[in-house]
């Protein structure tokens, strides 16, 4: 499919990816400011920094779950992360031009979300320790931050691939992803700020002008998730299914061609061997079934 055709037919999915990361950035900005701005009543009521980080993690985990299971998230697949999109591209589950436009949308939407929060909260969003919710290495340095980002990205993508390819567990993918986000923010954030997402880091850096060790967040998450794709392929002899974190028979899939308006028999939700396969192969498998 040409880029013009991809834009013409798949633009709703691209806009959803922009919306998803934009909402995630708005949520991150609002909850972090609420709990970390020194003059905030919530900050004064909760003096323990670890407890505040737990609460921020829970808020962001719930935000991720809401995006994934929302009707819009079910339509695009709720990647909201270039690293996730690139891993599925490596597995052949998303078309190249769709991957390009997903990534452009993610960067655009994330940056827009960061700008909205910055324009709304102004000085309190810029003040330390909120500081535009930037992701920068902790006291241990960039090397530790790189290793930490690599590890958590690898773990998240392995979980996504394992659950989305397990019939009985696939519906829990979004919940487990949200729980991992919450856990990572609580445990890993002191080492790297917990990004796993180049577009999320770019959004904060663009709003703040703080680009400290940005290379960490543009390399480690991508390498970690690509490594997860390779590990999954080596460990499983079955074809990876659909590049959606939650599949629904009520939403079209631009990756396998399913359209609920014209077909009720085959969908990402009920035809594991065919979802994501080329249309010719999908039709051949359907005839054999």
pLDDT score, position 76: 97
User: For residue 231, is pLDDT > 90?
Assistant: yes
pTM of the model: 0.91
Helix segments in 193-278, DSSP class H: 198-208, 214-235
Q: Quote the strand ranges of the chain, DSSP E.
A: none
Bond into 129 cis (ω within 30): yes
User: For residue 275, is pLDDT > 50?
Assistant: no
**Region 235-243 average pLDDT:** 80
pLDDT score, position 240: 78
Give the residue from 231, 229, 200 showing the smallest Cα distance to 217.
200
The answer to whether the beta carbons of residues 241 and 268 sit under 8 Å apart is: yes
The answer to whether the beta carbons of residues 88 and 102 sit under 8 Å apart is: no
What's the rounded Cα separation, in Å, for the pair 199 and 85?
Answer: 12
User: For residue 283, is pLDDT > 70?
Assistant: no
pLDDT score, position 263: 61
Q: What's the CA angle centered on 39, arms 20 and 140, to 5 degrees?
A: 65
Dump pLDDT digits (tens) for 163-177: 999 989 999 999 999
Dump pLDDT digits (tens) for 124-143: 999 999 999 999 999 999 99
pLDDT score, position 272: 42
Task: Count the Cβ atoms, other than its own, within 10 Å of residue 11.
Answer: 12
Task: List, in order of start, the domains of the chain with CATH numbers.
Answer: 3-235 (1.20.1080.10)
pLDDT score, position 69: 97
H or E stretch including 37? none
Is the torsion defined by CA of 129, 119, 216, 76 positive or negative? positive
């Amino acid at each position: 499919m040409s880029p013009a055709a991809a834009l013409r037919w798949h633009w709703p999915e691209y806009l959803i990816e922009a919306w998803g990361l934009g909402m995630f950035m708005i949520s991150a900005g609002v909850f972090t400011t609420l709990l970390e701005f020194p003059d905030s009543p919530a900050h004064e009521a909760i003096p323990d920094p670890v407890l505040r980080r737990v609460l921020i993690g829970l808020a962001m985990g719930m935000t991720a779950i809401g995006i994934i299971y929302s009707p819009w998230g079910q339509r695009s697949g709720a990647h909201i992360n270039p690293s996730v999109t690139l891993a599925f591209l490596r597995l052949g589950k998303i078309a190249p031009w769709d991957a390009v436009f997903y990534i452009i949308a993610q960067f655009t939407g994330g940056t827009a979300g960061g700008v909205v929060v910055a324009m709304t909260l102004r000085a309190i969003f810029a003040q330390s320790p909120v500081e535009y919710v930037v992701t920068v290495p902790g006291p241990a340095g960039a090397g530790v931050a790189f290793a930490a980002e690599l590890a958590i990205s690898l773990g998240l993508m392995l979980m996504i691939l394992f659950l989305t390819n397990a019939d009985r567990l696939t519906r829990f993918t979004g919940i487990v992803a949200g729980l991992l986000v919450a856990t990572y923010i609580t445990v890993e954030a002191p080492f790297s700020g917990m990004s796993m997402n180049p577009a999320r880091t770019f959004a904060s850096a663009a709003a703040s002008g703080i680009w400290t060790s940005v290379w960490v967040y543009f390399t480690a998450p991508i390498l970690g998730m690509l490594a997860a794709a390779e590990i999954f392929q080596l460990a499983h002899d079955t074809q990876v299914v659909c590049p959606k974190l939650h599949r629904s028979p009520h939403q079209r899939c631009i990756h396998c061609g399913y359209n609920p308006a014209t077909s009720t028999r085959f969908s990402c939700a009920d035809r594991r061997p065919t979802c994501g396969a080329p249309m010719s192969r999908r039709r051949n498998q359907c005839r054999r079934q």
